[in-house]
Each structure stands twice: as C-alpha cells, then as structure tokens.
C-alpha cells in the first residue's frame, strides 16, 4: 500500500463496532468495569482495557496506531503538546549527571527546555552546525542521546540522519529526531536509522491549526546497554523491544500527566487523512515562492533547501524524496523592512505557528527569539531582517502576487 492510500486504508481506518468512518471520540475521564477483579486486572495492565484517560484512551490510541504505522515504529505515546512529547522523550532517558547533544538550529522551545534541564543536573551541549564532526566533538562518556530536527526550524539546516544515527550508535546512545517540519510523508527517520521520533502534531499532522498536541514514536530496536541505561536494560527482560515505551507509560507519562485530549486525537486523525495531498501542494508552492523571492531585487537572501544553490540541497534531495518542506526564510535587509513586508501582506497570517493550510509569516527575532541573546539568535540562524514563511495551500499566483506587492511597498 502506498503512502496516501495508507492514510485512508491503513491501520484502524474505521470503527469496527459501528462502521463509523471517523474515529469515535471517547470523551470520558474513566472506564467502568463490572467487577472489582476486572478493574484490578485493568490496573495491573494484564487485562485488556482502559482505566483513566491520563493513562490511555481509545481515541488517543487510534491516533497512536496510525502514526506508528506511518513512521514505521512499534508503538507511540501521544502527548498534550510537542513540548510535552520532547520533554518526555528525553527525560525517559536522562538522569542527574547525564548530558545530551543537540544542534543549535532547533526550535526555540526545545533549545530553552534543554538549557533549563541544567536545573536538574542535566547538561545540554549544542553544536554550531549539523556536521557529524560537530556532534562527535561534544559527545562524552556521560552523553545519553543526540537530538536533531529533520529540518532545523528556523535555521533550515538539514542533518544527515543516517550519518548521525551511525555516530550515535557507535557511542551506544540513541538518536532522537523531531520530524515536525517534514512529517512521515517526506521522511521516516526510523527507516534512516534513528531510534525515536517526536512530533508537534499541532503543525503539519493536524494541518489546520485547530489543536495543540505531540507524539513520541519508538522504533523498538535500540540495544539498551546495562552500562549506559541500566533501568531500560532491566526492563528488556519483561518488555523486550517495548522497554522504552513501557518505562515511559508506567513512569513519567503517567506521572507528569501530559496526555493528549481525545478530541484532539480525533482532529489529528482527521488531519492525517489529507497529509500527503496538503504536503504535495505546500511543497510545490514553497519551491515556487522560494524561486520567486530569490529573483526579487528587494530580497537579500532566501533560505530554502529546495533551491539548487542551497548548501543543504543535496542532502535534502536524498533524504526527502524530492520535496523540501513547508518552511522558508528570507531577509529584506532590516527589521523595519521586514515589518513593512509583514504588515503589507494580504493573505499571510502574522502568527506563531507553522504547518497550517494557510500561509503564515512571523518575524522570529522580535517574537519567538525575543528572550534570547543576540549571540544565541545568530547561532540559531535568526538575523534581524529575517521573515519566516510557513507556506499554505493557496493558489500560487495569489501568493506570489501578494509577496510581490508587499515587497514593493
């Protein structure tokens, strides 16, 4: 079954009890059992069934099964937001004294989260770029994971997933990939050697910007060593390939309570149905808009991996099967000019989100990156004159005309 068919006819494509073509929304906090013995069994996890929606819910579970099969994992855990998913994915592996290595071009929220882990005795080291050597230099005996984004948001750098998986594995540590910006339609990081994938489902998976959510998908193949991951090593006996997911579900996922709402899981299932269709359109619009902007006299620079002169064009072509993503950034010389362009656009919404069917723009330096130092902003690839565009599904003629008139203003 090809990808777009799988979106509609893959796992759990309709409700077996009723035949409903959409996922039933089990908007309930808890689940009743006939006997005390049955509830005891459900609690222990040995029986089938749900107990309490913070721990598990059938609507949420359906979304988890669908995204698991699209990302080629063995299981998934849905969360209340992308940040909850990233927090849980890394904290399931880290203890006081541990370290992680991430690239500096990642989403500002992830960067801030990793920095604040120092309050808990966990050190994050950030590479200046996505070269394998830069990651290798920062790995120590205490490093427990490498974290990257499939395309850095907003730096637009494209790491070589296969190479970094190889590097991680040579140090007996897993590679975690945030696949929010590309989705499983463009790349399945687990197939490229990564061990764990995370998403902010608030973006492309949902597609219409109607709810916040996140998800963690595990490949289940990583060999947790006794030396580096003693707890996971122990769990392998009872849970085999599911050790990571078992530790998460019976640990921090349950205890921190960052579960996904059943209604949001339904919206995410609905969004998934059109993932391929939307991305075909968005990626082709993004390439056309990037080409237009790169020829425009008022535009100083354009950063989009789809442009043949882009330094990541080659690796992006190899990794993302001929599509280059939903985001592009461009510079117009100054913050004032950037504001002028944003204020003159008719169609693009000026807001802090990406992955919507609508075209969205933002001035990152004064918003998402306002709390970071000028040095941190530069390292993150956020100059003062930069506009980030999350391209939508509008007709490309309208988008180009809109940017053209805004740049002329």
Say if CB 175 and CB 197 are below 8 A apart.
no
- The correct pick among 275, 283, 287, 354 for binding ligand PLP (CB under 6 A) is 354
Residue 67 Cβ, how far from ligand PLP at the closest point, in Å? 14
Q: Please report whether residue 107 would count as binding ligand PLP according to CB under 6 A.
A: yes
Sign of CA dihedral 165, 166, 167, 170: positive
Judged by CB under 6 A, does residue 110 bind ligand PLP? yes
**At closest approach, how far in Å is the CB of 64 from ligand PLP?**
16
Q: Which is nearer to ligand PLP, 107 or 266 (CB)?
A: 107
- Dihedral sign for Cα 239, 189, 193, 388, please: negative
Q: Does 325 bind ligand PLP (CB under 6 A)?
A: no
Instruction: Tell me the CA end-to-end span of the chain in Å, nearest whole number.
Output: 49
User: Which residues, numbered 251-310, are part of the site for ligand PLP (CB under 6 A)?
Assistant: none
Residue span 62-101 as binding mask against ligand PLP, x where in contact by CB under 6 A, dash where not: -------------------xxx------------------
Q: What distance in Å separates the CA atoms of residue 184 and residue 364, rounded to the nearest whole number?
A: 26
Q: Return left, alpha or beta for 273; rule: phi > 0 is left, psi -120 to 50 is alpha, else beta.
A: alpha
Least Å from the CB of residue 43 to ligand PLP: 30
- As a whole number of angstroms, the distance between CA 4 and CA 330 comes to 31
Nearer to ligand PLP, 228 or 377 (CB): 377
Nearer to ligand PLP, 42 or 359 (CB): 359
| Total chain residues near ligand PLP (CB under 6 A) | 17
Q: Which of 192, 144, 198, 135 is nearest to 167 (CA)?
A: 135
CA distance 408 to 332: 11
Question: 154: cis peptide before it, omega within 30°?
Answer: yes
Question: Using an 8 Å Cβ cutoff, are 161 and 319 in contact?
Answer: yes
Strands 360-362 and 99-103: unpaired
Interface stretch with ligand PLP, choices 195-203, 226-234, 275-283, 378-386 (CB under 6 A): 195-203
Q: Where are the alpha helices (DSSP H) in 101-179?
A: 108-116, 132-138, 161-170
Q: Figure out which of the listed residues 88, 90, 181, 341 binds ligand PLP, where binding follows CB under 6 A.
A: 181
Can you tell me which of 64, 71, 98, 149 binds ligand PLP, judged by CB under 6 A?
Answer: 149
Residues 6+ apart with CB under 8 A from 236: 224, 243
Q: Is 176 a residue that touches ligand PLP (CB under 6 A)? A: no
Task: Give the nearer residue to ligand PLP in terms of CB position, either 59 or 81.
Answer: 81
Where does this chain touch ligand PLP (CB under 6 A) — which range of 107-115, 124-132, 182-190, 220-228? 107-115
Q: Which is nearer to ligand PLP, 185 or 229 (CB)?
A: 185
Round to whole Å and give the CA distance between 245 and 362. Answer: 36
When asked if residue 57 is in the footprint of ligand PLP (CB under 6 A), the reply is: no
Cα separation, 282 vs 276, in Å, equals: 10
The residue at minimum Cβ distance from ligand PLP is 82
By CB under 6 A, what part of segment 201-220 binds ligand PLP?
202-203, 212, 214
Stretch that binds ligand PLP, among 105-113, 166-174, 339-347, 390-398 (CB under 6 A): 105-113
Q: Do the Cβ atoms of 214 and 86 come closer than 8 Å?
A: yes
Residues in the chain: 409
Could you tell me which stretch among 162-170, 184-192, 199-207, 267-275 binds ligand PLP (CB under 6 A)?
A: 199-207
- Interaction site with ligand PLP (CB under 6 A): 81-83, 107, 109-110, 149, 153, 178, 180-181, 200, 202-203, 212, 214, 354
């Amino acid at each position: 079954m090809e990808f777009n068919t799988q979106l509609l006819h893959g796992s759990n494509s309709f409700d077996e009890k009723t035949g409903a073509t959409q996922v039933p929304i089990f908007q309930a906090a808890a689940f009743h059992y006939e006997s005390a013995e049955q509830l005891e069994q459900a609690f222990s996890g040995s029986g089938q069934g749900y107990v309490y929606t913070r721990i598990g819910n059938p609507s949420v579970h359906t979304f988890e099964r669908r995204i698991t099969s699209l990302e080629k994992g063995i299981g998934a855990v849905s969360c209340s937001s992308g940040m909850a998913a990233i927090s849980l994915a890394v904290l399931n592996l880290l203890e006081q004294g541990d370290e992680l290595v991430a690239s500096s071009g990642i989403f500002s929220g992830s960067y801030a989260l990793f920095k604040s882990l120092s309050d808990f005795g966990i050190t994050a080291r950030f590479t200046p770029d996505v070269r394998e050597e830069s990651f290798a230099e920062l790995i120590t005996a205490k490093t427990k994971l490498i974290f990257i984004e499939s395309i850095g948001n907003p730096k637009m750098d494209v790491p070589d997933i296969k190479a970094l998986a190889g590097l991680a594995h040579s140090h007996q540590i897993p590679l975690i990939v945030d696949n929010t910006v590309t989705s499983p339609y463009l790349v399945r990081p687990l197939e490229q050697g990564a061990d764990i994938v995370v998403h902010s489902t608030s973006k492309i998976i949902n597609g219409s910007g109607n709810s916040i959510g996140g998800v963690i998908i595990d490949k289940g193949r990583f060999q947790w060593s006794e030396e580096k991951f003693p707890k996971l090593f122990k769990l392998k006996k009872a849970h085999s390939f599911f050790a990571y997911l078992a530790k998460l579900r019976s640990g921090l996922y349950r205890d921190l309570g960052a579960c996904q709402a059943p209604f949001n899981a339904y919206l995410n299932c609905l969004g998934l149905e059109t993932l391929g269709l939307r991305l075909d359109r968005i990626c082709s619009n993004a390439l056309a808009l990037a080409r237009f902007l790169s020829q425009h006299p008022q535009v100083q620079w354009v950063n989009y991996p789809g442009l043949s002169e882009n330094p990541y064009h080659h690796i992006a072509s190899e990794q993302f099967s001929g599509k280059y993503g939903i985001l592009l950034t461009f510079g117009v010389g100054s913050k004032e000019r950037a504001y002028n362009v944003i204020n003159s656009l008719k169609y693009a919404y000026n807001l802090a989100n990406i992955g919507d069917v609508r075209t969205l723009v933002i001035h990152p330096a004064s918003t998402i990156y306002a709390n970071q130092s000028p040095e941190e902003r530069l390292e993150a690839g956020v100059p003062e004159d930069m506009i980030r565009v999350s391209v939508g599904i509008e007709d490309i003629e309208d988008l180009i005309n809109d940017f053209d008139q805004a740049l002329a203003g």
